[in-house]
A = this chain, B = another copy of it.
Amino acid sequence: MNATPPTRPPTSLDVARLAGVSQATVSYVLNDRPGARVSDETRARVREAADRLGYVPHAGARTLRTGRSGLVLISMEDIPYGPLAVGTLEELDRELSRRGYTLVQYGARRLKGVPAARAWAELRPVAVLAGAGKLNRQAVEVLRSAGVKAVVALGSRPSPVVPSVVLDHEGIGVMAAEHLIDRGCRSLAAVVPAEDGLREMGEHRLAGVQRVARAREIPLTRVDLPFHEDGAAALAELWRRVDGVFAYNDDYAMLLMAVLGDAGLAVPGDVRIVGCDDLPLAALLRPRLTTIRLDVSATPSALVQRLEEIIAESPAVPSRIDPWTATLIVRESS
């Protein structure tokens, strides 16, 4: 059993010694600074020495010296789950690292009474993306004061205090309602999930449905529903009174289709259902499900571009609010 080699990680000074140059020269070569004029031969020696030692620069030291960490923090909890979010996140990561930033997902729980924003601030990130709910005035102030250039909210509504990436849940409700009414539905229901993480988005989608229903004078029933068959089945009477349901998302839509089938109702004959998310699974249903998909394909690059603008201008107080909106696509497959 070998004794533990308590070897320190190699530093740029170690590299310098091995290459027989000064430590400053190492820094010049490895960052190939434009201004520095170092002979090709020296460069090669430095590079080889770094390789041999397995030299890896110390991010903390660099951040301390330069004042820039290059970190972009995004909070884990505030990203809705599913294939859409995963793909978007990967694209965002790609886009950011192309420009020299590093995307890092970070927990957003408060620990021992310390608000999450404070933990984020310790890393001195250049930008923070987090749920609108967590970015109250105080949190933003902590971040700003720690030198965070860009604070961006993620949510269903624009944040009053920082620029926001808005997922247009109301728009989803609007499209769903119009779709159903255009196809002859005259009595609507809209599901609001009774799950903690989903209720808020559910209410925003509901708001969109409400707007259309009111404008077109169609009665609308709000249905608060946990994701269980029993609860949905218990509402059998309700389902007989309506001819169109916006099910919140595809999962709920599938739940309803199962329950309505059990209750002897035909879909879409007796009741039309619209889901949301365009889940691959939903395409397997018989009959096929009509669904609404958020098109966020353009969001990552647009977001990164705006981030760079904000970082460059570095406005202490944002002069204006700039919500972005993802666009909707209806995918009708019945």
Interface, chain A (partner B; CB < 8 A): 1-2, 4-5, 7-10, 54, 56-64, 69, 76-77, 81-83, 86, 89-90, 93-94, 97, 102-107, 109, 111, 118-119, 121-124, 141-142, 145-147, 227, 229, 251, 254-255, 258, 261-262, 280-281, 283-286, 314-317, 319
Contact = CB atoms under 8 A, between A and B. Distances in A.
Contacts of A1: 319
A76 B90 CA distance: 9
Work out how many copies of this chain go into the complex: 2
A93 B59 CA distance: 23
B142 A56 contact: yes
A124 B60 contact: yes
Contacts of A145: 7, 9-10, 54, 56
Main secondary structure of the interface of A (DSSP, over half): mixed
A105 B105 contact: yes
A107 B104 CA distance: 7
Contacts of A76: 89-90, 93, 105
Contact of A317 (B2, B81, B251, B315): B2
A93 to B, nearest CB: 5
Contacts of A286: 258, 261-262
B122 A229 contact: no
